Structure formats: C-alpha cells, structure tokens
C-alpha cells in the first residue's frame, strides 16, 4: 500500500483549505500515535507562497528558496533525498508531524519550471523517495489552478474539496471536480480519487447554509463524500493567529469537535480498505 | 477571547476513540502496529549500514572512513573499486569498467586465482547485475532510527544488497530506478542482534573473523555493552575477550543457536581469534582464513602474527603446515636441525624472507651510516655477498635435505 497523500483543493481563497490542512494533519498524526502505529509520522507540504500553513505549524515563515519547497522542486534527481532531509522540519506541535515549508520565492520557482519538461511531476517525483517514511502526507494548495496546484494534485492519492456553504459555491464545486477529473484522465493519474468534501464556516442559523448541506447530502455521488461540516467558529481564527491547532487552542470548541470527527472519517477512508 | 477550558471535552474523546480497535477494526490496528509485515520502498540515501555488523563488505580502511562519515557511500565504493583496480593491474589483468571485471574473472576461471579483494568485488558486481536483471531485490531489514524531522534507517540485514544497489545506481550505466529499495522496517526497540546473527550465520555464513566478531557482539550485548557511534574498532570487539557465557547461562542456548548452532568450544575458539593483532586480523578476514589454521597463529607473539598469515596466504599453507610453522617459530629452533644457529642470524635472514624485505638502496644507506664512508661500506658489502654465496653453495650441495 502506498502512503495516502491528501491534497486540499479549491481554486477559491479563504475557504478554509489551510485551516483544514493543518488540523487534519495534526489530527491524523495524533490518532495514529494513539493507535500505537509503528509509524505515526505525518508530513504537511505547503505549496502556497503565502506560507500560512508553514507559519502556523512551525511558528516561522523565514524560509528561503534554499530551505523550502523551492529547493526540493529545483533539486536534481540524485540530490532529492539529501535536499528533502535538509528541508523537512518538525512542527512545533508534535515531533512526528513534519513540514516541507513554503517560501515567498515559490512563485519564481514555479515560473522557472514552466519551460522544464516534466515540471508537473516534480513534486510527485520528489515525494516518491520520501513517501514511505510517512504514514500520511497532506498537501495544502494555493487558491488557483496554477502549475503548483497541478503538481499537488499529481502528487496526491486523495483529493478533498474545501467549500464554504455560500449559495454560489456549488457552481464552483463543479469546476473543482472537473479539474480533478482532468488530472486523473488527462494526465493519466488514475490513482487520484475524489475522497471528500468538507464544508467550512458553516452557520446553522443561516437558512441557505442548511439548504446547501441538505442538497449536498442528497447528491447521488457527493453525498457519500461529505466528510466534515466545520462550523464558523471564532476559535479557528484565534488558533490561527496563535499558531496553534484548533484542538490545542480550544478543545471544547465546536470547530475542534467537528475537525476531530472529520479526522476519524478520513482515517477510515485512508486506512480501511473497504470503507466508504 | 480567551479559550474556554470548561465543559465536557468531546474533541479529545473523539480523537482518542479514533485510535480504538472498535473504531478502526482489529485488522487495521494490527497493520498500523506491525509495520514490520509490510514491505516499503525507502530511499537508499536514508539508509546506513550497521557499523558493528560482523560481516565486512568493504575493506577495513574504507569501512573505517565510511563509518566515521569521512566519505559518502559512493566515494566508499569508488575507493574500493580503485583499490581493486590497482591490484588487478599489478596482476596483469586490468579492467576498465566493472562489467569487464566480470568477464576477466570468467575467462580466467580455473587458470588464474583471483585475489580475495578481486573476488569480493566481482561477487558484489555480480549481485548488482542480478538486481538489475531481476528488477527487484529481496527486501532489506532496516531499523527506523529517525530523530525529529531527520529520517534515518540502519540496516539489520542485507548490507551486501545495499552496496550492490549503490553499485547498480552509480557504477553500472543505464540505471532506471528511482533511488529507493524495498525494506521491511522495524521500530528501534524491535531490532535484534540475535536475529541479525542468525541471518549472518545461515546461508552464506560468516568467515572465521566474522564469527569472532559475531560471538563478541552477542556476548557484549548480553552484558549490556553496546557499540559506540561511528566506526567500530577491533578493540570494541576485543572487550569480549574478558567476558564469557558462564555468568549468563540463561542466554547460552540462544547465543549458540544464533551462532548457527555451534558448540561452546567452537564459540570460545572463534572469540579467541580477536587476540590476533590488527594487521593479522584484517588479512585473515580479507582472505577468509579458517579458524582451524588461525588457531595456531593466535598463540604466537603479536609481532610474528602478520608475517605468518602472509605466509599462509602466499603459500597456501595447510592446517598441518601452519601448526608446524608455528611450533617451529615458537621454539625458535627448527626441530630437525641439530646445528647451532644463533637467534641473531635467524632474525637477519628472516628480514630478507619477509614480504617487506629491505630494498637494496636501503641496505646500502645503512651500510654507509654504519661504516662511515663508501670505501669501507663496499668492503663490508663484499663480505656480506661472500656469506650469501657460501649459503647458496651449501643449498646446492645439500639438495636432498628436508626439514619438514
Ligand atoms: N470554521 C471557521 N470558522 C471561522 N473562521 C475560519 C474557519 N475556517 C477558516 N477560518 C478563517 O478564514 C480565513 C481563511 O481560512 P484559510 O484556511 O486560510 O483558507 P484558504 O487556505 O482556503 O485560503 C482564516 O482567517 C481562517 O482563520
Ligand atoms: Mg491557504
């Protein structure tokens, strides 16, 4: 079995991709430890030059092109392992939760790679040498369908779409699904499956939100993939600002509970063959 | 807003219940826990051989530099190949690429005896070529020694496959792999010198010095003495010379079984080989000399051991011959030689018989120093030559004398 690699995706910004990335990664790592897994290591790959996931999980965003994902993407095949061992840092939360940090130079690196043959596979190739060192990998993407996001999708086994329950969001949903299928078929990456849809910033007092969830639930395919409904909750924003996981910031908050439930759902999806 | 810390903690309940058998199912839990049953592909660059491994793949000096982290695996192999290249050139069978070495060996099979170093490298190359052709390797057993975010694995068994894989990657053109190698991964606490020993002593087995190190390693382990970091010197294994199984009866059966089911006597005999002095030990290892022959050498004075081993190698001495040679040297008087010879003369003659015999120039310079000027030195030389001429004549006239 290959290491499950989850990519959080949506070409829109501000929908909770980064928040979901770090809380999912943290939760997976924590529960794998709890389960006594021989290898509970989880790796976060931050592909967004804004480095929000990096900052939250490591407490720093002072990474340059030499000690961030930039170096990994630019490495020669032969040096990849050595570069990865140098670049990967431990999160400041759990010793088994690691991060490939992003840096502001990622966009420049992306531009340089445009003309390189095989560029879209750079991340997949790099991760292939370190993949089995981890029990799971979680990739955060930036809000666009750029080359970098394609790299993330091509490196992944499981795509999870993050959505806000706004009225027009369902329209956007279709374009994200299309992108995943394009990667799967067009790029011949049949191992990529659409594994989940998580709704964030849900407010049950808003009628539209309720209706959207209801229609998702009714959907013949997507209904089964609804893997989390995360309420809009101040604790998330505060946790973010304090560079904490939401569980650590306030384990009693509704968002913590919802994320924990999502972790359970994902763990089953990723590790139990016959599930879902 | 300060975080609330009151009320029931559903989140922690949920997170911890995820790690439950009831939640994931017993099969998944088992899978997660015994990593060991799974074969994973690990980047070879994250893996390192065990410095204390009794079976040596690399020549001693390279082994030492490698484990002291002075050279990379690729540099180690490069030095190894270079070392063998020099020997092969001296022996008049130079090779360009490693694949040539395979052919050289084949053509000469039977007629020429490859030196131990050439043979070892040839075997390793063969393994590399087989890996390439089969497209897969038997998994290595490795121990996860990662600390923090730095990944690292140490080989419990399969070091030869590791080096063969590097050879395949770096020294045989056309490598198509991705730099990973299939592995069975053990947790730090799951590694076992006993299992490693069993693996070592079964199949191809260990040579005598390998057995000596293996015996020492087991003995040291059960006495809670562990190898230092980096290169493991002969002296580390020699610490076992002061230990025995007597005080550790509960382990005796396991240790002997791990050694391949040998007897206590054999165990002690092998261990005793660690008394050999460094050079002798290294040669005996490289040339796979058996315990039955080394047994006699061990009891000789340290300064004579290397020389005796050299003779064993050069003349292919049998066990009997080694025994006789050692007895003889020990008495310092040939058994059947009744004439009186002085130890001084013996030493002088032996100097000329050894492998690193003095060069002519060296002899001349010493004579000059001793005599003070060229004229006197030349007269002295005349007289030395005379002595040797007489010796030559004596040998010619006494063709039929045999002392052994
Ligand atoms: N469930 C939530 N409740 C309240 N605020 C949230 C929630 N999820 C995310 N946010 C906030 O929304 C903003 C955008 O979230 P982020 O995870 O960075 O989105 P993206 O990565 O998709 O751009 C952040 O300020 C974050 O703190
Ligand atoms: Mg983001």
pLDDT tens track for A51-68: 999 999 999 989 999 999
The pLDDT > 70 percentage for chain B reads 90
- DSSP-derived letter for residue A225 is G
Contact yes or no for A129 and B35 at CB 8 A: no
**Are both B176 and B322 inside the same structural domain?**
no
Tell me the chain A residues in contact with residue B75 when contact means C-beta distances shorter than 8 Å.
Answer: none
Tell me the chain A residues in contact with residue B11 when contact means C-beta distances shorter than 8 Å.
Answer: 247, 251-253, 256-257, 259-260
Higher pLDDT, B402 or B183: B183
**Are both B201 and B186 inside the same structural domain?**
no
Alpha-carbon Rg for chain B in angstroms: 29
Q: In sequence order, what are the residues at sequence separation of 6 or more whose Cβ sits closer than 8 angstroms to the Cβ of residue A111?
A: none
Confidence tier at A75 by pLDDT (50, 70, 90): very high
B187 touches chain A (CB under 8 A): yes
Contact yes or no for B24 and A267 at CB 8 A: yes
Per-residue tokens: A201: 């910033």
Contact yes or no for A260 and B15 at CB 8 A: yes
Query: In whole angstroms, what is the distance from residue A30 CA to residue A28 CA?
Result: 5
Taking CA atoms only, the protein residue closest to ligand 1 atom 25 is A237
Residues 115-154 (B) with a CB less than 8 A from some CB of A: 144, 146, 148-151
Q: Is B22 exposed, middle or buried (0-12, 13-18, 19+ CB in 10 A)?
A: exposed
**Are both B179 and B43 inside the same structural domain?**
yes
Contact yes or no for A253 and B4 at CB 8 A: yes
Interface test with A, best of B4, B5, B26, B32 (most A CBs within 10 A): B32
In the predicted model, what is the mean pLDDT of residues A89-105? 96
Tell me the chain A residues in contact with residue B33 when contact means C-beta distances shorter than 8 Å.
Answer: 35-38
Residue to mutate, A9, A12, A19, A142, ligand 1, most ligand atoms under 8 Å from C-beta: A19
Least confident span in B25-39, B117-131, B383-397: B25-39
Interface test with A, best of B11, B175, B182 (most A CBs within 10 A): B11
Query: How confident is the model at residue B81, as a pLDDT?
Result: 95
Alpha-carbon Rg for chain A in angstroms: 18
- Here the CATH number for the domain that contains residue B246 is 1.10.10.2830
Query: In whole angstroms, what is the distance from residue B282 CA to residue B237 CA?
Result: 13
Query: How confident is the model at residue B1, as a pLDDT?
Result: 44
Query: In whole angstroms, what is the distance from residue B335 CA to residue B402 CA?
Result: 11
**Are both B148 and B175 inside the same structural domain?**
yes
CA distances from A135 to A13, A29, A196, B118, B328 (A): 28, 8, 19, 43, 65
Query: In whole angstroms, what is the distance from residue A143 CA to residue A163 CA?
Result: 12
Atom number in ligand 1 closest to CA A239: 27
> What total number of domains does chain B contain?
3
Half-sphere exposure of B221 (CA within 13 A, CB side): 20
- Ligand that lies nearest to the alpha carbon of residue A238, given by its number in the listed order: 1
Q: Which residues surround ligand 2, an ion (CB under 5 A)?
A: A 17-18
Residue to mutate, A139, A206, A238, A240, ligand 1, most ligand atoms under 8 Å from C-beta: A240
Contact yes or no for B15 and A268 at CB 8 A: no
Q: What is the pTM of this model?
A: 0.80
Q: Within its chain, how far is the Cα of A11 from the centroid?
A: 13
- Ligand that lies nearest to the alpha carbon of residue A22, given by its number in the listed order: 1
Query: How confident is the model at residue B335, as a pLDDT?
Result: 44
Q: Which of A27, A38, A90 faces B149 most closely, judged by CB atoms?
A: A90
Query: How confident is the model at residue B330, as a pLDDT?
Result: 65
Could you tell me which chain A residue has the CA closest to the CA of B31? A37
Atom number in ligand 1 closest to CA A233: 3
Q: Which of A78, A90, A257 faces B14 most closely, judged by CB atoms?
A: A257
Query: How confident is the model at residue A174, as a pLDDT?
Result: 84
Average pLDDT, whole number, for chain A?
A: 91
**Are both B44 and B172 inside the same structural domain?**
yes
Query: How confident is the model at residue B334, as a pLDDT?
Result: 46
B168 touches chain A (CB under 8 A): no
Which range marks the domain in which residue B315 is found? 194-331
**Are both B159 and B82 inside the same structural domain?**
yes
Among the three residues B148, B174, B191, which one is the final residue of a domain in this structure? B191
Any residues with Cβ below 6 Å from ligand 1, and which?
Answer: A 13-19, 52, 143, 200-201, 230, 232-233, 236-237, 240, 255
Strand partners, A100: A45
SS3 label, residue B177:
coil
Atom number in ligand 1 closest to CA A20: 17
Per-residue tokens: A266: 């994902």
A5-271 in CATH: which number?
3.40.50.300
User: Is the predicted pLDDT of residue B36 greater than 60, yes or no?
Assistant: no
CA distances from B176 to B131, B168, B169, B173, B328 (A): 12, 10, 8, 9, 59
B57 lies in some domain: yes
**Are both B117 and B207 inside the same structural domain?**
no
Could you tell me which chain B residue has the CA closest to the CA of A131? B42
Query: How confident is the model at residue B333, as a pLDDT?
Result: 45
**Are both B180 and B216 inside the same structural domain?**
no
Q: Which of B3, B16, B35 faces A250 most closely, judged by CB atoms?
A: B3
Q: Give the distance from residue B221's alpha carbon to the nearest chain A alpha carbon, in angstroms.
A: 24
Confidence tier at B332 by pLDDT (50, 70, 90): low
Number of Cβ within 10 Å of residue B205's Cβ equals 11
Confidence tier at B25 by pLDDT (50, 70, 90): confident
B9 lies in some domain: no
B15 lies in some domain: no
User: Is the predicted pLDDT of residue B68 greater than 90, yes or no?
Assistant: yes
Entry field: residues in chain B: 404
**Are both B48 and B143 inside the same structural domain?**
yes
**Are both B40 and B172 inside the same structural domain?**
yes
**Interface size, chain A vs chain B, as Cβ–Cβ contacts under 8 Å:** 138
**Are both B51 and B112 inside the same structural domain?**
yes
Query: How confident is the model at residue B6, as a pLDDT?
Result: 44
Tell me the chain B residues in contact with residue A30 when contact means C-beta distances shorter than 8 Å.
Answer: 15
How many helices (H) and strands (E) chain B has is answered by: 20, 5
Comparing CA positions, the residue from A141, A156, A160 lying closest to residue A262 is: A160
Tell me the chain B residues in contact with residue A249 when contact means C-beta distances shorter than 8 Å.
Answer: 3
Higher pLDDT, B208 or B362: B208
Q: Give the distance from residue A33's alpha carbon to the nearest chain B alpha carbon, in angstroms.
A: 8
B385 lies in some domain: yes
Query: How confident is the model at residue A275, as a pLDDT?
Result: 45
In the predicted model, what is the mean pLDDT of residues B378-403? 82
How many helices (H) and strands (E) chain A has is answered by: 12, 8
Query: How confident is the model at residue A190, as a pLDDT?
Result: 84
**Are both B167 and B204 inside the same structural domain?**
no
B11 touches chain A (CB under 8 A): yes
Query: How confident is the model at residue A66, as a pLDDT?
Result: 95
Strand partners, B181: B42
């Amino acid at each position: 079995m290959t290491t499950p690699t989850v990519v959080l995706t949506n070409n829109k910004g501000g929908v909770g991709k980064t928040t979901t990335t770090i809380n999912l990664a943290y939760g997976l790592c924590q529960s794998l430890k709890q389960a006594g897994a021989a290898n509970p290591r989880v790796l976060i790959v931050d592909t967004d030059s804004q480095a929000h996931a990096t900052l939250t999980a490591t407490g720093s965003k002072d990474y340059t092109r030499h000690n961030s994902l930039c170096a990994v993407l630019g490495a020669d095949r032969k040096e990849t392992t050595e570069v990865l061992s140098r670049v990967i840092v431990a999160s400041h939360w759990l010793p088994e939760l690691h991060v490939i940090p992003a840096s502001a130079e990622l966009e420049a690196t992306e531009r340089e790679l445009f003309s390189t043959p095989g560029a879209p596979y750079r991340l997949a190739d790099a991760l292939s040498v370190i993949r089995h060192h981890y029990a799971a990998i979680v990739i955060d993407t930036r809000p666009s369908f750029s080359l970098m996001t394609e790299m993330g999708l091509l490196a992944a086994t499981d795509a999870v779409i993050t959505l806000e329950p706004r009225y027009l969001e369902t329209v956007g949903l279709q374009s994200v699904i299309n992108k995943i299928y394009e990667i799967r078929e067009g790029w011949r990456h049949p191992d990529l499956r659409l594994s989940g849809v998580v709704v964030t910033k849900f407010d049950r007092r808003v009628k539209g939100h309720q209706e959207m969830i209801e229609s998702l639930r009714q959907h013949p395919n997507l209904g089964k993939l609804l893997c989390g409904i995360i309420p809009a909750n101040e604790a998330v924003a505060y946790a973010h600002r304090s560079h904490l996981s939401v569980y650590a910031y306030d384990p009693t908050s509704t968002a913590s509970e919802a994320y924990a439930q999502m972790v359970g759902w994902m763990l089953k999806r990723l590790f139990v063959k016959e599930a879902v | 807003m300060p975080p609330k810390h009151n009320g029931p903690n559903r989140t922690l309940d949920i997170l911890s219940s995820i790690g439950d058998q009831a939640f994931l199912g017993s099969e998944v839990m088992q899978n997660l826990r015994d990593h060991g049953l799974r074969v994973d592909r690990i980047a070879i660059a994250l893996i390192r051989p065990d410095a204390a491994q009794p079976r040596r793949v690399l020549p001693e000096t390279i082994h030492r530099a490698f484990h002291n982290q002075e050279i990379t695996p690729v540099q180690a192999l490069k030095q190894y190949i270079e070392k063998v290249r020099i020997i092969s050139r001296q022996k008049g069978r130079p090779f360009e690429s490693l694949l040539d070495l395979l052919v050289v060996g084949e053509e000469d099979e039977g007629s020429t005896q490859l030196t131990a170093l050439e043979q070892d490298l040839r075997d390793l190359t063969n393994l590399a070529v087989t890996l390439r052709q089969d497209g897969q390797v038997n998994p290595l057993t490795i121990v996860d020694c990662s600390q923090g975010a730095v990944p690292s694995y140490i080989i419990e068994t399969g070091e030869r496959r590791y080096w063969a894989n590097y050879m395949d990657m770096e020294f045989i053109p056309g490598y198509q792999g991705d730099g990973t190698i299939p592995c069975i991964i053990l947790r730090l606490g799951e590694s076992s010198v006993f299992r490693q020993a069993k693996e070592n002593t079964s199949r191809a087995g260990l040579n005598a010095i390998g057995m000596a190190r293996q015996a020492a390693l087991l003995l040291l382990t059960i006495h809670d003495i562990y190898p230092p970091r980096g290169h493991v010197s002969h002296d580390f294994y020699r610490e076992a010379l002061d230990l025995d199984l007597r005080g550790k009866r509960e382990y005796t059966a396991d240790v002997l079984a791990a050694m391949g089911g040998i007897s206590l006597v054999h165990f002690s005999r092998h261990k005793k080989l660690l008394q050999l002095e460094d050079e002798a030990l290294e040669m005996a290892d490289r040339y796979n000399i058996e315990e039955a022959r080394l047994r006699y050498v061990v009891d000789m004075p340290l300064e004579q051991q290397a020389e005796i081993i050299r003779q064993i190698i050069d003349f292919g001495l049998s066990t009997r011959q080694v025994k006789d040679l050692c007895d003889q040297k020990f008495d310092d008087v040939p058994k059947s030689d009744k004439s009186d010879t002085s130890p001084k003369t013996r030493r002088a003659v032996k100097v000329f018989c050894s492998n690193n015999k003095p060069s002519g120039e060296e002899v001349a310079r010493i004579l000059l120093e001793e005599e003070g000027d060229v004229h006197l030195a030349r007269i002295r030389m005349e007289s030395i030559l005379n002595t040797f001429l007489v010796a030559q004549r004596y040998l010619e006239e006494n063709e039929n004398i045999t002392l052994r």
